[in-house]
Amino acid sequence: MLVLTRKRNESVRIGDDIVVVVLDLKDDVVKLGIEAPPGQKILRSELYQAVREENTRAARLDQGVLEKLKALGEKKNKAGG
């Protein structure tokens, strides 16, 4: 990993069209400004991590849930809905 030290208002260029600026530093919080082409996906890493964890959790579905869903569906049908 490339490690750079930057001060307030200093920036880093990534490739030809991405600029990351350090806008503010306070306690242990860094405020970053990112200039990038509109199509570029920029995500807070924890969002990606949350989706990854949720997918892994969802894939571990108990086989018994199939039967419970069937039962729910039948209940719904009986209720005329």
Partner 1 sequence: MQLNTGRFGSVEVEDEKILTFPWGLPGFEHLRRFVVLPGAGSDVFGWLQSVEEESTAFLVVDPFVFFPGYFVDIPERETHELKLEAPAQAVLLVIVSVPEGDIKKATVNLLAPLVINTARQLGRQVILNSSPFNTRHPLFPDGNRLVVPPGQGEGSLACSY
Which chain residues interact with partner 1 by CB under 8 A? 38-43, 47-48, 50-59, 61-76, 81
Distance CA 61, CA 51 (A): 16
| 6: number of Cβ within 10 Å | 14
Nearer to partner 1, 25 or 34 (CB): 34
Nearer to partner 1, 13 or 68 (CB): 68
Nearer to partner 1, 17 or 67 (CB): 67
Q: Cα–Cα distances in Å, from 15 out to 27, 56, 68, 73?
A: 30, 33, 52, 54
To partner 1, the closest distance from the beta carbon of 5 in angstroms equals: 29
